């Protein structure tokens, strides 16, 4: 039993809504972490004067690791979605016109570059932590 075009359209719209919700929740979470570091760094002088653990440094390291993981994870997720859409369209086009294989591979490679950029950003973040 094959799906109709309307079913495919509804499924794509549902997945796009889920992806948008994930992005919004991630943005809110990261904004909360940013405000948390601001509040903790305001208490830095009190912590250093009283001795003990340097919490702001620990929080900075934790946020560095979280942001590196998010850069890699979200970059890979976005690349996977892009390659799934671009790759299926490219293979359909190549089936009709085999001479456009080279151009279609370039588009798939551009979509895969998003994951590489996410990995590079996470390496830069980990280098600063």
pLDDT at 24: 80
Domains and CATH numbers, the chain: 5-128 (1.20.20.10)
Which residues 6+ apart lie within 8 Å of 86 measured at CB? 107, 108, 111
pLDDT, tens digit, for every residue of 28-76? Answer: 787 777 766 665 555 555 555 555 556 677 788 888 888 889 889 999 9
pLDDT at 26: 82
pLDDT, tens digit, for every residue of 8-18? Answer: 777 777 887 88
- Residue 93 corresponds to which tokens in the numbers above? 């086009």
pLDDT, tens digit, for every residue of 73-98? Answer: 999 999 998 999 899 899 999 999 99
59 vs 61: CA distance, rounded Å: 5
Helices (H), 1-129: 5-42, 44-50, 55-96, 101-128
62 vs 54: CA distance, rounded Å: 13
pLDDT at 2: 62
Q: What is the model's pTM?
A: 0.56
């Amino acid at each position: 039993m094959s799906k109709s075009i309307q079913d495919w359209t509804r499924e794509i719209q549902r997945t796009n809504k889920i992806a948008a919700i994930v992005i919004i929740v991630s943005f809110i979470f990261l904004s909360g972490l940013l405000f948390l570091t601001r509040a903790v760094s305001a208490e830095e002088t009190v912590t250093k004067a009283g001795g003990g653990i340097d919490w702001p440094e620990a929080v900075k390291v934790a946020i560095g690791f979280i942001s590196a993981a998010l850069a890699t994870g979200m970059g890979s997720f976005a690349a996977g979605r892009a390659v799934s859409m671009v790759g299926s369209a490219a293979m359909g086009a190549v089936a009709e016109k085999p001479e456009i294989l080279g151009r279609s591979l370039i588009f798939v490679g551009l979509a895969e570059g998003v994951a590489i950029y996410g990995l590079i950003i996470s390496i830069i973040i980990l280098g600063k932590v």
